[in-house]
Amino acid sequence: MSATFSKTMRSLASDGPRRGTAGLVAAALGLAAWGAWFVLGRVAVHETSDGARIEEVRAAHPVAVEIAGRVVATSLAIGREVEAGDVLVRLDARAATRALDEARARLQDQEGRLRAVKAEVAAAGSALAARGEAFAVAVLEARAQAAEAEARARLAEAEVERNRKIPGLVSEEQRAKVVAEAEAARARAQAQGLAASRLEREREAEESDRRSRLAELERDAAELRGEAAVAAAAIRRLEGEVERHDVRAPVAGRVGEVAAELRTGSVVAAGDRLGSIVPEGTLRAVAHFPVAALGRVRRGQPARLRLDGYPWTRYGTIPAKVADVASEPRDGRIRVELDLEPDPRSTIPLEHGLPGTAEVEVERASPAALVLRAAGVWLRPGRGP
């Protein structure tokens, strides 16, 4: 055993200097490589958001109720697909429906009365025209009779004048008879003239009465038309009132939110938000960064999104790119919108509303520059030990 031990010691003595030199060379090369990377290498510098959320590019539309009432039916359920105009919530509309039925009954009654008055107006107009024609014929006939009587009177008067101018032409008895006949003819002519005048005045009086009645009927018809128009307007208003008891989907999409207290029998107030509809569209991440990131985060910079419900160590991150940056802070934060560029092989189901954090690559710098920056901040007045 002494011989074996002595051989081992001689082997170690011969190999020692060579192995030490090789170790020093390897260490020097590693240190040089690290130094080169420390000075010349580039690493990504990220700005991390206070919070982020995946949203539809088209904003979610709220489902709100316009009037107060009691819920009698609801089909709002998270995740349900709806079409624009679908009834989501129905309120108790019995009072409005009764008022609508009453208004329709009143309108029907007014329309019936209006039809009757219109028929009476038409009949009165026809009667006025027919009576006017009959009176016109009667007046013409009376005037003709008056003209005939006037002619007979003038003839009789001429006979009297002729007998007066020729004495002895007829006996006194005959002359008296001729004079009496002339006076009778003149009286008949005057009577016929008076009758024609009286008939003309009667015609004017009756036509005036009929026109007054016709005007009164037309006035009644105008009032009924006005009342019917008011009733029709009231019906349209009540129809809108009944319609407002049905809360409809403002857009097509998926129900993304439902009020916790919404159920059949619950009472809602005007303006209450009952839920929201998320329209189908492109997804985008909305992140909020500290104000210090303003100017560093710019459009087009690469980013990545880590979702709270999907640990990045297992599911990875979602690649993204800065799409837009707000120029004014709000509540001490800057709004940044990111276009998502997900890997098709990713198992993360992207949906509206998923929360997380966003990291934006604002620059690439060497480790040496980063160390110098940190040292400068640490040595700044007021920050030293």
Is the CB of residue 295 less than 8 Å from the CB of residue 55?
no
Question: Within a 10 A sphere around the Cβ of 206, how many other Cβ atoms?
Answer: 14
Q: Using pLDDT thresholds of 50, 70 and 90, give the confidence band for residue 120.
A: confident
Percent of the chain scored above 90 by pLDDT?
A: 13
For residues 100-111, give the mean pLDDT.
Answer: 88
DSSP letter assigned to residue 60: P
pTM of the model: 0.48
Whether the predicted pLDDT of 1 surpasses 50? no
Q: Residue 358: enclosing H or E segment and its boundaries?
A: strand 355-365
**Given this model, what pLDDT does residue 3 score?**
54
Per DSSP, helices labelled H in the chain are 2-40, 94-165, 172-243, 312-315, 367-379
Domains plus CATH for the chain? 43-58+281-385 (2.40.30.170), 62-92+245-276 (2.40.50.100), 95-243 (1.10.287)
The first and second tokens of residue 340, run together, are 């998502």
How do residues 317-333 score in pLDDT, each as one tens digit? Answer: 889 999 899 888 888 89
DSSP code of residue 245: T
* DSSP codes of every residue in 88-107: EEEE--HHHHHHHHHHHHHH
Q: What are phi and psi of 355, to 5 degrees?
A: -90, 165
DSSP annotation of 318: E
Q: Which residues contact 361 (CB under 8 A, 6 or more apart)?
A: 44, 45, 46, 301, 302, 303
| Residue 259: partners with Cβ closer than 8 Å, 6 or more residues away | 272, 273, 274, 275
The first and second tokens of residue 201, run together, are 């005045």
Helix (H) / strand (E) containing 73: strand 69-74
